[in-house]
Copies of this chain bind each other. A is one copy, B any other.
């Protein structure tokens, strides 16, 4: 139930509405989590009924009231306990990996085109993350505390994207050689 924790972490930094938490999740790698707004509203409701957060309704003109949530002491205690607890290795799961294994059931040029698109998406994310590092953490050695933590999480995202791009490139290289090999067999030049 890391969504609960991700929301609590967000609120531990500043109080906010469900909408704002959703924005943060989708806009930054910083929370290393993603969720739809429905999931967030539902979870906030549960966190409230569990006494981990409280909220204050704020009236607005022309817009629905917003509920500004704040972490309670119980929520803070719970978070601290969770932070000190072990994090098991997540089970391995990758759509791309599953698909790759069966790649020869498809059409190689098509598979390669889709792989290239996947690679490019990952490369675009990587550029975004690198831009954030430059913009928000220009002097990483000087960081400490919360800011350091946020930087290190971002570093994890950079590493992951790099890994994805490199893996796709490795696969594409090998598939390219396969293509050339089969072309050579189909139309030998000597």
Contacts and interface: CB of A to CB of B under 8 A. Distances in A.
Interface of A: 2, 5-6, 8-9, 12, 29-34, 76, 79-80, 82-107, 110-111, 114, 117-118, 121-122, 125, 144-146, 148-150, 152-153, 155-157, 159-160, 162-164, 166-167, 170-171, 174, 178, 181
Contact of A30 (B86, B101, B153): B101
**Interface residue SS majority, chain A:** helix
B105 A80 contact: yes
Nearest to A95: B2
Contacts of A31: 97-98, 101
Contacts of A83: 99, 102-103, 105-106, 111
A34 B84 contact: no
Contacts of A163: 159-160, 162-163
Contact of A153 (B29, B80, B97, B152): B97
A171 B167 CA distance: 23
Contact of A86 (B9, B97, B118, B157): B118
24 contacts: A2-B93, A5-B95, A5-B98, A12-B105, A33-B93, A33-B97, A76-B105, A80-B106, A83-B103, A83-B111, A84-B106, A84-B107, A84-B114, A85-B114, A87-B114, A88-B121, A89-B125, A97-B156, A100-B153, A101-B146, A101-B150, A104-B146, A152-B171, A152-B174
